[in-house]
């Protein structure tokens, strides 16, 4: 069975849990995502542990560090993790074009994925931080900026995927968190869609965390979402 275009968000409190989730879900998905919670606690060890737990499954590593700093610092950070050979490395598009380009040049083998607007954000949240909304406009503006600076992937809500695709064309990988199977709780995500809805909107990779990792049987949950995408 071909694995589904899902990046499982391994937002685990410890290495053993992350490794268990990785081994259970790797046969069903293309990508495993290591984020701040694990990376800040364990550093490169977590990448090795996840790869080992995934076994022979040909999964890609998504390093979701959401870098955001001055260009020189982001370049240094990207260089620090480039040796881990992540397929994707995230930066915040709101860091601006020079910062995005610094990451692209420092980690040339990774696809730098620019986060547009967090999927936990709604229009009111943008207002509070003084960013011109609505969210859909901010997402499009940041997407164009990031791709112009060399980002080869973008992180956006499935609700904005179609509009972003229209702006940036077919070659940019669109990654969408905020994916919730029919009937699942949205939790802290605001701009959500179902897995099939996200793909139909033009997403290439669906980031799914708690609906899989919080399920009593993460392997079964991943397999079921993968099956729903094949139907």
Q: Residues with catalytic annotation?
A: 66
Residue pointed to by tokens 């980031």: 207
Candidates 5, 6, 11, 92; binder of ligand C5P (CB under 6 A) is 11
- Round the CA-based radius of gyration of the chain to a whole number and report it: 17
What mask, x for binding ligand C5P by CB under 6 A, covers residues 54 to 93?
----------------------------------------
Binding status of residue 118 toward ligand C5P by CB under 6 A? yes
What is the DSSP code (8-state) at residue 71?
A: H
Main-chain dihedrals φ then ψ at residue 154, nearest 5 degrees: -135, 145
> Residue 46 or residue 72: which is nearer to ligand C5P going by CB?
46
Q: Quick check: 20 and 7 in contact, CB under 8 A?
A: no
Query: In the bound complex, what is the minimum distance in angstroms from residue 197's beta carbon to ligand C5P?
Result: 14
Q: Give me the residues paired with residue 35 across strands.
A: 64
Beta-carbon contacts of residue 59 (< 8 Å; ≥ 6 apart): 3, 26, 29, 30, 31, 32
H or E segment and range at residue 99? helix 97-106
To ligand C5P, the closest distance from the beta carbon of 166 in angstroms equals: 19
Binding mask 168-187 for ligand C5P (x = CB under 6 A): ---------x---------x
Binding site for ligand C5P (CB under 6 A): 9, 11, 35, 115, 118-119, 155, 177, 187, 189, 207-210
């Amino acid at each position: 069975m071909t694995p589904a275009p899902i990046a499982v968000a391994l937002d685990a409190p410890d290495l053993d849990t992350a490794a268990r989730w990785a081994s259970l879900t790797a046969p069903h998905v293309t990508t495993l995502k290591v984020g701040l919670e694990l990376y800040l606690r364990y550093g490169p060890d977590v990448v090795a542990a996840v790869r080992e737990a995934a076994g022979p499954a040909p999964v890609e590593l998504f390093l979701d560090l959401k870098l955001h700093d001055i260009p020189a610092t982001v370049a240094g950070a990207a260089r620090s993790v480039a040796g881990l050979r992540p397929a994707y490395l995230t930066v915040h598009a709101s860091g601006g074009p020079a910062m995005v380009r610094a990451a692209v040049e420092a980690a040339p083998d990774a696809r730098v994925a620019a986060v547009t607007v967090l999927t936990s954000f709604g229009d009111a949240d943008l207002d509070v931080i003084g960013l011109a909304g609505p969210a859909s406009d901010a997402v499009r503006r940041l997407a164009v900026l990031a791709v112009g600076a060399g980002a080869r992937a973008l992180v956006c809500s499935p609700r904005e995927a179609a509009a972003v695709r229209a702006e940036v064309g077919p070659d940019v990988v669109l990654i969408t968190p905020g994916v919730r199977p029919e009937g699942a709780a949205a939790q802290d995500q605001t701009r959500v869609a179902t897995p099939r809805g996200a793909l139909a909107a033009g997403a290439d990779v669906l980031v799914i965390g708690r609906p899989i990792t919080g399920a009593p049987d993460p392997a079964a949950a991943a397999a079921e979402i993968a099956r729903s995408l094949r139907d």
